[in-house]
Amino acid sequence: MGLDGTGATTLTPPGVTFNDYMYDLTYDAATRRLYWPNGSTIAWAAADGSAGGELYPHASLPVGADAPKQIAIDPLHNRVYWASGFKIGYAALDGSGGIGSFEITGGCTFNGGNGEGMAVDGARGVLYVIGSFLGDRPVAADLDGTDCRDLLPAGVPDSLGLAVDPDGGRLYWGEYATSKVGWVSLTDPTSTGYLDTGTAKVTNVAYPTILKRPKSNGTRLSLAAGVLECLPIWANDEPGVKLFRAPATVTYTWTRNGTRVAKATGVSLTPRSGGRYSCTATATNVAGSTAATTAKTVGATALQVTTPAGAALRVRGGRLTLVGRLGGAGTVRAVVTAGGRTIASGTAAPRRAGKVTVSLGVTTAGRALLRRAGSKGLRVQATFSGAQTSGYTVRKSFTLRLRR
């Protein structure tokens, strides 16, 4: 269903028998798969319900007598984790095996159980877990269970579920009995508290999930083959810690020298003249919007095609001359078309900035067409590529006067 509660549907993936005690649900947007502890098994389903099954049968997992309450997936390392007794079980997320377990070791207080809360930050190499007994506290350890450390100086009452915001530096848990969402700093055990939920009705809180507005990891503006392309980079979801922030939509606006470019709303733009071009990409999801802006200077004189007054094309052995100015050494190729057919083309390769003249030879078919058509509007396309100024295309239509 949508986050506003609309569009709800029931998934009935083939190959899955749902257990009555289904506590947790994890989603991997990259593969569009759902995962959950299904009794004493780990189950999965396609997000559209078209496929599913047991990731591992009960007999193959070292889960112990108690079924796990919360699992954690680590797509980066292709693993799924769960707690069982005083051990952490793991297996390959793609179902290929790799089954094993390890103990939590180090200077922390971990009382074991079937894992009321579990999260894994594969990118930063941290595993978070809280036991299944009243008064347990959340702990953090390396991905192999070593170097365990307490995140709180004391236990929390009746906790269910963990979620982590690595950028915000907080770990969150649900308190079922008190109907609160607690938090603690990832670096300071004394910095802790509860979220202010205001007038919202909150009852029996369990398994919190974090939804944040999109995060920009930088952006760049490329210029190749005469086209500017806006290339923002957005942070991915982190399903292992129950953090979701991927954009639902991305929109684009462009400016040249600070002035909005009309009708430019796509990811790319073909500049018609030099200047300072800027692209703003705005990513939006239900939590809000984030804008990322980048700019690039296209040489003000990189290519400016002009047509001298009275430019003429002689029918017999005539040549068309285009005059322009370049911002640096490079190559200019000009093509003239009439009625969709190429009638003249030419190339120049100036070694320095300044005036450039391109002499275009006329094809035999072009001469015949001009003899028949007389004075005709012709389309010129000139492309410049150079070592100092990236290329872009200038198009200009004009009428040539024929001399016979």
User: Is there a contact between 233 and 218 (Cβ–Cβ < 8 Å)?
Assistant: yes
Please report, in tens digits, the pLDDT of each residue of the chain (404 residues total): 566 667 778 778 887 777 766 778 888 988 999 998 887 778 889 988 899 888 766 555 554 445 677 889 999 999 999 887 778 888 899 888 888 888 889 888 877 665 678 899 999 999 999 876 666 888 999 999 999 999 988 878 778 889 999 999 999 999 888 899 999 999 999 999 999 988 888 888 888 999 999 999 999 998 876 688 999 999 999 999 999 999 999 999 999 999 999 999 999 998 877 788 999 999 999 999 999 999 988 764 444 444 444 444 444 445 666 666 665 566 777 777 776 778 778 887 777 666 667 777 777 777 676 666 554 556 666 665 554 444 444 444 444 444 44
pLDDT of residue 382: 61
* Residue 187, Ramachandran bin (φ over 0: left; ψ between -120 and 50: alpha; else beta): alpha
pLDDT of residue 1: 58
pLDDT of residue 302: 43
pLDDT 10s digits, 56-91? 665 555 544 456 778 899 999 999 998 877 788 888
pLDDT of residue 114: 59
List the structure tokens of 12. Answer: 């009935």
Pick from 166, 178, 152: nearest CA to 120 = 166
- Quote the strand ranges of 207-258, DSSP E: 210-211, 216-224, 227-234, 243-244, 249-256
Pick from 92, 85, 94, 102: nearest CA to 40 = 85
- β-partners of residue 306 are 323
Q: How many Cα atoms within 13 Å fall on the side-chain side of residue 309?
A: 0
Give the strand pairing for 330-338 and 341-348: antiparallel
CA distance 59 to 110: 26
The domains located in the chain, with CATH, are 26-208 (2.120.10.30), 217-237+248-298 (2.60.40.10), 304-403 (2.60.40.2550)
The letter for the amino acid at 231 is L
- Per-residue CA distances from 116 to 106, 120, 150, 336 (Å): 20, 14, 16, 73
Instruction: Report the chain's C-alpha Rg in angstroms.
Output: 32
pLDDT of residue 151: 92
Pick from 387, 381, 309, 383: nearest CA to 353 = 387
Distance of CA 394 to the CA centre of its chain: 32
Instruction: Convert 4-43 into a string of H (helix), E (strand) and C (coil).
Output: CCCCCCCCCCCCCCCCCCCCCCEEECCCCEEEEEECCEEE
pLDDT of residue 279: 96
Residue with tokens 């365990």: 148
